[in-house]
Chain A
Amino acid sequence: MEEPVVSMKDIHYAYETKNILHDIHFDIPQGAFMGMLGPNGGGKTTLIKLILGLLKPDHGSIHLFGQPIEKFRNWSKIGFVSQKANTFNKGFPATVYEVVSMGLTAKIGYLKLFTTKHKKKVLHAIDQVGMSHYAYENVGSLSGGQQQRVFIARSLVSDPELLILDEPTVGVDQENVQKFYSLLHQLNDEHNITLLLITHDTGTMTEHATDIVCLNTTLHFHGKPEEYKTLSNKDLSQFYGHPVNIVTHDH
């Protein structure tokens, strides 16, 4: 059995007196396409920040690629596409090429030069997400869906084995959401990149993910999409704390 990419045991995290995460145990197996569902304020983003080492749990242990997170240094193995991709500073005049290059900064390291080898990698990543035509355009002038692909390329360029996406389809129209998911499948199937995708979009998620977890302070569900579909509306309402309608976001 291969080492899970992420393994969380007995995780507790509180902000001031409010419990954000309580008694979280879960693994992300290698090669999984894991969808994470949950209400706002349910702790999804906090959980990601814990995995990325941006926050420390009050209690419990996290292993990344089999290594305790305190000792883990190989951060370029983990790619991260944040919600911010929609709200980043559009006035910042960086070209697609420049933005994707930024994904290599930490991997190259301090005082080391960006070489032609790196340039090739950047162009390849841009090609992978189908944005070659726009390589030298300012990112701020692109549409939301195009920007999203640029930010994925920025994460892909450092050859991650785990890609974490925090609500990447917010603000992207329905047609492009489909394209976006086929790109994710391609990364998952052909490049064997493990995916952790946070979303509100329950309908689409059950179609695409191989594993689903539902998080609202505690883990309410962890299993296959087929099992998730058998959950009753009552189960779901309990989980979200209010009646549930499945809605897609295409504003």
Chain B
Amino acid sequence: MLADFLEYDFLRYTFLTGLLIGIIAPLLGTFIVVRRLSLIADALSHVTLAGIAFGLFMDKKFALGLPPLYSGMGFSVLGSIFIEKLRGVYKAYQELAIPIILSGGVGLSVIFIALADGFNTELFNYLFGSVSAVSQTDLYTILGISVIIILVIGSFYKELVTLSFDEEHAVASGIHAKRIHLLFIVLTALVIAASIRVVGVLLVSALMTLPVAASMRIARGFKQMIIFSIVFGELAVIIGLITGYYFSIPPGGTIVVVSIIILLLAIGIKRFSHTPRKRRDPHGTE
């Protein structure tokens, strides 16, 4: 079944891109989930859609040749910085940033789509992903983004974990929470923009959260959770891309369905293997 993916260039680019986002989406997703920011990822993906619509519009009306991947990424990064500012303004209502950004993103998308005289198939590909839309340039761009993300997460791993676990304690011990938050949200925006070609705007947050939700059920410790999340993410991407291709279904749909099956299996395995046992503490606690 893999043969076509090796034979045709466009399929190979999609496949390699899929493997890359199968690493970076769950990697970042692990932090997004534990920091309860899943909905922010969703909001950002809609801003990315606005950026893509803007790129398509500029291309169609002015033949600017602005690659939608770049305009999407630009909007997404700006949106992420805006979210951080909003969260600072509405300290007591931090979740308010989500509907503001989400509706803003959809609103702008509709305007650009209308200005570009309506829907086209290319936009449909951006909504639900496509097995054939990744160009060689896209692949190289996404490879670059992936390298940056892995390097930055690697460099700030201990700060990110410490902040995510207990922000109050982290700040009290002298970590600069604001800078790390900003860095993190910009990374999230980059991952979303990178993932959109394959999974699509509407489903990109699923690839960041579902593998993590499954991994959370069985992992012991945070590092293990990251590793399982990536394994599940890769499985979902590989199986989803191949089945999507053979059944002519946008891969966004198949990848999400595979992720949900993995999630259900993880919950089931946990149930099955869970034998109630009381921990004994040699020091008498409990």
Contact = CB atoms under 8 A, between A and B. Distances in A.
Interface stretch (A26-34, A98-106, A228-236): A98-106
A105 B225 contact: no
B220 A106 contact: no
Secondary structure dominating the interface of B: helix
Given A101-B158, A138-B221, A92 B174 contact: no
Given A95-B220, A98-B221, A176 B285 contact: yes
A93 B216 contact: yes
B156 interface: yes
Given A84-B168, A106-B170, A93 B284 contact: no
Given A143-B286, A146-B286, A108 B158 contact: yes
A140 to B, nearest CB: 11
Interface in B132-169: 155-156, 158-159, 161-162, 164-166, 168-169
Interface in B166-180: 166, 168-175
B282 interface: yes
Interface stretch (A60-68, A74-82, A210-218): A74-82
B223 to A, nearest CB: 7
B166 A93 contact: no
Contact of B171 (A54, A78, A99, A146): A54
Contact of B222 (A78, A93, A130): A93
B34 A92 contact: yes
B281 interface: yes
A102 B220 contact: no
A110 B174 CA distance: 11
Nearest to B158: A105
B279 interface: yes
A105 B173 contact: yes
A191 interface: no
Contacts of A119: none
Contact of B281 (A75, A91, A114, A146): A146
Nearest to A53: B172
Contacts of B286: 143, 145-146
Interface of A: 52-54, 73, 75-76, 78, 80, 82, 84, 88-89, 91-95, 97-99, 101-108, 110-111, 114, 130, 133-134, 136-138, 141-143, 145-146, 154, 158, 175-176, 179
Given A92-B165, A94-B165, 8 more contacts: A52-B172, A78-B172, A84-B166, A89-B34, A92-B164, A98-B222, A106-B162, A158-B173
8 contacts: A80-B169, A88-B165, A91-B216, A97-B221, A98-B222, A106-B175, A107-B173, A142-B279
Interface of B: 34, 155-156, 158-159, 161-162, 164-166, 168-175, 216, 219-225, 279, 281-286
